[in-house]
Each structure stands twice: as structure tokens, then as C-alpha cells.
Structure 1
């Protein structure tokens, strides 16, 4: 019994090898057919699909109860649903607003936007860390910090010649209110 914890037989290892290679090849083929957008990191649904594909691959690899064909079908279903959601979101503003969050402005021209920070559950030290990660030592050198739809921070450096920051056009700006 104890020996099965460390080694359950050559047939089990052979199954993992054959199913692993086959499932991996099938996943790569399906991802190539579906296009680059399938594994992008543009919103929460993209993350869910990526994690679900990885979880499915692990389950197919390690569970004797799941046949390779079932795993490949699960890959295809997840990829098809991702394609359907992205196809619909490009064609319908209602679907787009349902599946994709707005980027949020958290810091602008020297001011931490506390209301937006609370709403997005972001702390001042996290914003400062994002600024430092961009190699910027002083907050005065930052035009804006945006929490993107994929959860990453974008730090927009301040530039003397820029009268308007057109890259910030679609970023949710909080109403003028005191911190």
C-alpha cells in the first residue's frame, strides 16, 4: 500500500505519458485554430478560460476516470465559449459592458483618488510600488496610474509637451469630490 504512494506501476506512468502528450498536442492545435485572443489577459473571462484550460489539462493527465476524448471535448467547449463571448462582445455593447470592466483612474496629476482606490480595493503602497516598478522615483513625474481591466497597473509618465492625455480617454474618472 505504501509503495503505491510512490509508484503505482508502469502502466500508470505510460498512461500519463501518452495522454499527456496527446492532450498537449490537442490543446496547442485548438489554441492555434482559435487565434491569439483566446489566451489574452484582457479581462476576467480571459483569466477564467486560461485557468480552466490548465485545470482541465491536469485533470485529464492525472485522472484515470477521464478519457482523452472527454478532455479534448472539454478544451473545445471552453475555447468555443471564449470565442463566442469575444465575438459577441465585439458586436454588442451590452455584452461588452457585461463581460469587461472599465479601467479605473487611481492617481492623477499628483493626487491619489481615494474614492476610486476604495472602490477598486487598491492601497496607496500598491500604487507607489507600480510607480517604482516603472523606474520612476517621484510621484510628481507621474501623470496618471490606471488599474486596467486585467488587474495590472499602467503608469503614465508626465510629459511637458502633452496638453491632453488622449490615452486616458476611456478611463473611468471619478466625479469631483473631496477625498
Structure 2
């Protein structure tokens, strides 16, 4: 359980260092967009990259080249998906959800909350996380495409332009 052989230690250090360098190289050539978490798909890619790195490090049946190929496949797939999403509204709608208005001007939007499976306590928590002590300080709360909640102070303006709502904004 607490044993490690010299050869396994050497493999972990060597392959780990090279896999890390390979991952950094792939991330640099693929651009900043690869590690953003703008939606659920991006989060899955980020987690998969970490899982792949761990597998390369700890599974001696996986070669460095196989691991680097997996990195390339994940990053290449994400690049293709985002490339298509930027160029096709239909494809973009297929892979991404829309932000959803949950609270507006003192009113919790119950239908939207039920549809998104969000309760009032979670909205209040996100408001507190933004350092707000009162609902009077908040004009709107939006459930973003990445699952986070944006808390808006002041009059909601054009930042709500693409937010899906059953209420007139």
C-alpha cells in the first residue's frame, strides 16, 4: 500500500514531467479558449484533461505517446466544437444552453427556477457570495451557461440581451 519501487518512481517522475510539458505545449498552441469554462462542454474537457494526465502518471500500461495522443484528441475535439459553434447558430444552440433569468426586480421567477431545478436558497446563497446583504441591492440574478449565477446591481441593461426569460425585461 505504501510501497514504491525505484523503477515506478522513475517512470512517474519522467513520464509526469514529459506529459506535463506536452500538455502545456498543446494548451499553448490551442489558445486560451481551451481552458475556459463558459459552458458545461468546456468544463468536461478541462476535467478530462486532468483525468488523462493522472492516468498517464499512474497507469504504467499507458504510454506517454498514448497519453499525448489523448490530449491532442481532447483539445482537437474541443477546438472543432468551438470553431463550429462560432460559425453556426444551429450548432451553437445544439451544444450550448442559454442563460436564464431567475430573479428580477424583487421577484423570484418560480417557473424558471423549477425548470432549471434551482431553489430560492441557492439564489440567496449566490447573492451572499457576491457580498450583498439585501435583495434591495440586487436587480437581477442570471443562471449562466456554465452553471454559475451572475448577480446584477443597478438597472439591468443590455447585458441581459441574450438571457432567456418568460418575463418582459
Query: TM tier, shorter chain?
Result: over 0.9
What TM-score do the two structures reach when normalised by structure 1? Answer: 0.91
| Counterpart Cα distance in 1 of 2:137 and 2:64 | 54
Matched, 1:172 2:157: no
Shift of 1:69: 0.2
Output one character per residue of 1:86-135: Cα deviation in whole Å (capped at 9) or x when no partner: 00000001110011110000000000001100111111011111111112
Shift of 1:27: 0.1
What TM-score do the two structures reach when normalised by structure 2? Answer: 0.96
Among 70, 76, 82, the residue aligned to 2:72: 76
Matched, 1:56 2:48: no
Alignment correspondent of 2:17: 21
Structure number with greater Rg is 1
Shift of 1:76: 0.3
Secondary structure of 2:139's match?
Answer: strand
Mean Cα displacement is larger for which, 28-37 or 121-130? Answer: 121-130
How many equivalent residue pairs?
168
Shift of 1:175: 5.0
Alignment correspondent of 1:66: 62
Runs of 4+, deviation exceeding 2 Å: none
**Any gaps of 5 or more consecutive residues in structure 1?**
none
| Counterpart Cα distance in 2 of 1:49 and 1:94 | 21
Alignment correspondent of 2:120: 124
Change (3 A) 1:175 1:135: closer
